[in-house]
Amino acid sequence: MSTINVKEITGGFTAVPGFLASGIHAGLKKEKPDLALLYNPRLCSAAGVFTTNAVKAAPLLLSMERLKEGCAHGVVINAGNANACNGSRGMDDAKAMALAAAKELGVDEKYMLVSSTGVIGVPMPMDKILPGIARAARELSAAGGRKAAQAIMTTDLITKEHAVKLEIAGETVTIGGMAKGSGMIHPRMATMLAFIATDAAVDAGTLKAALKQVVDDTFNMITVDGDTSTNDSVVILASGEARNRPIKEGTPEYNIFLAGLTAVCTKLAQDIAMDGEGATTLLEVVVKNAPTLADARLAARAVAGSNLFKCAVFGQDANWGRILCAVGYSGARFDPQRVDIYIGDEQVAKDGGGLAFNEERAAEILSSDRVTVTVDLKEGEYSATAWGCDLTYEYVRINGSYRT
């Protein structure tokens, strides 16, 4: 099987030819940018994956409904207010945002999506939002991706962007994206937004299948604090401007496209976990030799999400018992007496029991800004990777005063 060459490039959403973006300060937050607009004049194939929380924000419900047609021109996004739990007014405001953007851009409003993030249960300040949308439309540019990525941040400390190029059937295809997320992060979607663009030619059905598969391997394998929010969305737009032969499921071209999409989403997912509220360490948990993929995922997510182990990482305590305990309650099938555990390259447990490992070396590994834990179940051939972060005093401080 030939190697798929995925080349990282600079930028994010607007690294993809034909896509425009902007990010401005509309006044929802005190000083920082808080409103973004993403757009392509071409009507794009579109798909999305959304939160599993039963409580869903109005803009999310509106976008879910509009994506049933599988087409969109773009997305208007605000930070500072989630527009969640606002009753019928919330839906009216979400529709008004889409309509305002559509009028400014001269497109049908049903092809504009809406996304929001911020405080729940507060009415949208439409007197700020609507003029902001008009300004954002005027400032759209092919260089606006970074400003848009900054405008969707809440407690994030870093912007999250990534883009790649690859060859599909002799044509150069670009995939780029941006995300936000720092707290309320957990599998099955979390308080995160991600927006991905590609110039590949791919129909909406194939795009949705690809996105679902990649999200399961990336965004659904991160956790910061075990909470899942009301606005979480991943949306992808495909313009077809690369003019490749349309990608279909089950073909070599589909596998190449998956590799590029996975590269973008993996980096964005890692950035979200690394930027976890108050975090000092990115925690990567690799579970290998599991009997099924489902078992591998269950075990990896449980370890990455264990508050006890996350605290141990912060304290640089190689408490491997907390790792094995998390695998034990994960629901994964395995024999506890066969499990080997490694912290970095230091083996700390063998066949479910302890070793006389080098405590100083293990503590040194845990003191770095990226720690990999490997759990070998020795039960099969499946592997999965989850990402999380340590749990610190700063996390409590941030979330103790989130609204103020």
pLDDT digits (tens, 9 = 90+) for 312-333: 999 999 999 999 999 999 999 9
Does 229 have pLDDT greater than 80? Answer: no
The amino acid occupying position 52 is T
Q: Does domain 7-272 have CATH number 3.40.50.10860?
A: no
Cα 313 from chain centroid (whole Å): 23
CA neighbours within 13 Å on the CB side: how many for 98?
26
In the prediction, which pLDDT does 53 show? 79
Beta-strand runs (E) in 257-367 = 282-290, 340-343, 346-350, 353-354
Mean pLDDT calculated for residue range 351-361: 95
Tokens read off for 158:
């870093």
- Fold that domain 282-400 belongs to in CATH: Ubiquitin-like (UB roll) (3.10.20)
Mean pLDDT calculated for residue range 194-204: 97
Spatial CA neighbour of 245 closest among 172, 174, 169? 169
pLDDT digits (tens, 9 = 90+) for 28-71: 998 899 999 999 999 999 999 988 778 889 999 999 999 999 99
Q: Where are the domains of the chain?
A: 7-272, 282-400
pLDDT band, residue 184 (cuts 50/70/90): very low
pLDDT digits (tens, 9 = 90+) for 104-155: 999 999 999 999 988 889 999 999 999 999 999 999 999 999 999 999 998 7
CA angle 224, 342, 308 (to 5 degrees): 35
Q: Is 191 a catalytic residue?
A: yes
How many other CB atoms are found less than 10 A from the CB of residue 383?
A: 17
Q: Return the bridge partners of 282, or none.
A: 370, 389
Q: Which of 187-201, 215-229, 252-266, 382-396 has the lowest mean pLDDT?
A: 215-229
For residue 98, what is the enclosing H or E element?
A: helix 87-105
CA neighbours within 13 Å on the CB side: how many for 168?
31
| Rounded-to-5 percentages of helix, strand, coil across the chain | 35, 30, 35
Tokens read off for 264:
């973008």
- Residue appearing with tokens 């969707």: 152
Pairing verdict, β 160-168 and 7-9: antiparallel
**Of 191, 230, 262, 392, which is the active-site residue?**
191
